Structure formats: C-alpha cells, structure tokens
Amino acid sequence: MLQSAFERMIAGTPRSAVPSRWGIFHCGCLILVAVLIAAAAVFRKRLPRGEKNVSRILLAAGIVFILLETGKQILCSFDAEAGFWRYDFSRFPFQFCSLPIWLCPIGAFCGEKSCGRICAFLASYGLFAGGAVLIWPSGGVFSEIVFLNFHTMIWHGLMVLLGAYLWLSETVTPSLRDLAGAVIVYLPQCPVAALLNEAGHRLGLPLDLFHFSPYFQTDTPLLSAVQKAGANGFVMMLSFMAVFGLLGASVFAAAALIRLLFTKTKSKNTNADFSPEDKK
C-alpha cells in the first residue's frame, strides 16, 4: 500500500512545457547565479577560508548533489505508464558533470594534498563544465518534468558557484602546482569512463559516459568530427582528454590573466593615492 502511494506520488510529479533556451526560467537561473557570484566577489575577504571551512563546504555541496541525484534516479527509474521499476543506465551518474557527486565528499574527508587537487579540479574543469551547460543547455537538458529542470539548473549552478568560491577564497590559485593537481584528478576519469562504456556495450546497456562512446552519436564539438572520421573508442577517449584538458588549462590561464589585471589596477590606484607631499 505504501509502495503504491509512493509510486502514485512519482507518477504525479509536476510537469510543464519544456523550458526554452534563453526563456524566463533559463535567464532567471543565469541572473541568480550571476548575482551570487557578484556578491561573493564583493565580499570575498569575508569568505570562509582554511582547510576545515573548505572541507565543510565540500561536504555541504556533496550532500546537495547526492540529494538531487537521488531524487532524479528514483524519478527516472519508475515507468509510470507501464507501472514498473527499471533502472535507466543512460542516466548512470558518471558523466563529466556528475563527478562532483563523488569528488566533493571525497575531498571533504581526504588529506590536505588530495583535497587541494580535488579543489583545483572543481575550480577549473568543474567550473567550465557547469558553466557550459548553464549558459548553453543543449537539446535534452530541459524536459517537461519540473523537478529535472530545477535539478539541472541547481546542479550546474552549484558547480559554477563552487568553482567561483574556490578562486575567490584563494583556495585555488593560478599556479602550475594547482594546474598539475587538477590534471592529476582529471586524467584517470577518462579511462574509467571508457572502460565502463565498453563494458556497457558488451552487456547491452546504454552507457555513453562523457559522451565519447564510439557506439553512440556524439554532438560534442570536435569529437563529432573525430567520430565521423571513423575513430575507435581509444582514439575518441584520447581526443576527449586532449580537448577538455586544454579547456581546463584555459580556465587557469584566464584566472592568471584576471589576477594580473587586478594586481596592476590595484597597484595604480595605490600609487595614485600618494601625493608629492606624501613622498617627501
């Protein structure tokens, strides 16, 4: 009886027209994230810092990710029309944007060095991936299920906010050390995704993790051209590693440029404050 009531609740999940890109819902979410980042930038000196505070924030973010994903997995595993449960392996939470659900709790409890590497990954690769989907949600990101639309905007918005916090709090800096740490976390994820894709294919499961499986058509820029050229799974993986590796590095390059411009501006303003009399 309880199960039946639970299933009825899932089947009755609110639905609406699919939100459009640049529509009210999408633009509202973008504005909210932009305002929060601006507020964090203005009050950056008051942001919580230090290993303990960063661990707490990672844990809190991890809990939010877990709760969101649990709701999504339950909702997508029940076929309301057929009336039975069936897990949808195409939604297995090991996509590139799903990595924070694993990395945030791990970072919260691991040592300082490993936590620093995870933070560097979240501030670069995580920030870019979350921002890309938040700004340009491709086909299939929005649906008629209201919860899933809020799920994707909260999820990717939190990825962006978390990355922004790590930069603004100077937990991560545009240094070669932090860049290397981000790459160390990033590189192993790709072979894992490739192995799971191959295992899924052999087992007849619809796994297309990181969207570079050779058994599925990809619409990821550059990778689609590689796939059309007849690349196998190994080449697809290497192409993904190269393309996204450069994108992650570009975030560090952008952060270094912003820091340089900010330092120069601050230096000019400081020098302007001293009059000739002050220098005597």
**227 is in which domain, residue-wise?**
21-264
Burial of residue 240, with CB atoms counted within 10 A of its CB: 0-12 exposed, 13-18 middle, 19 or more buried: buried
* Residue pair 89/200 in contact by the 8 Å Cβ criterion: yes
- The pLDDT confidence band at residue 278, using thresholds 50, 70 and 90, is low
277: in domain: no
15: in domain: no
Q: Which of 15, 34, 30 is nearest to 149 (CA)?
A: 15
Mean pLDDT of the chain: 92
pLDDT digits (tens, 9 = 90+) for 173-207: 999 999 999 999 999 999 999 999 999 999 999 99
- d(Cα 171, Cα 163) in Å, to the nearest integer? 10
pLDDT in the model for residue 138: 84
- The pLDDT confidence band at residue 122, using thresholds 50, 70 and 90, is very high
Q: Read off φ and ψ for residue 145, nearest 5 degrees.
A: -85, 115
Longest dimension (CA), the chain: 87
Amino acid sitting at position 92: F
Q: Read off φ and ψ for residue 79, nearest 5 degrees.
A: -90, 100
Number of domains in the chain: 1
Secondary structure (3-state) at 65: helix
13: in domain: no
207: in domain: yes
The token duo for 210 is: 């990181």
pLDDT in the model for residue 78: 84
Q: Read off φ and ψ for residue 190, nearest 5 degrees.
A: -65, -50
pLDDT in the model for residue 1: 52
Is 70 exceeded by the pLDDT of residue 276?
no
Contacts (Cβ under 8 Å, ≥6 apart) of 185 = 103, 117, 118, 120, 121, 125
16: in domain: no
- Its pTM stands at 0.92
pLDDT in the model for residue 264: 79
The token duo for 184 is: 């160390």
* Residue pair 157/29 in contact by the 8 Å Cβ criterion: yes
78: in domain: yes
pLDDT in the model for residue 8: 81
Q: Read off φ and ψ for residue 140, nearest 5 degrees.
A: 100, -15
12: in domain: no
pLDDT digits (tens, 9 = 90+) for 52-73: 999 999 999 999 999 999 999 9
Burial of residue 153, with CB atoms counted within 10 A of its CB: 0-12 exposed, 13-18 middle, 19 or more buried: buried
The token duo for 133 is: 């989907």
170: left (phi > 0), else alpha (psi -120 to 50), else beta?
A: left
pLDDT in the model for residue 9: 83
276: in domain: no
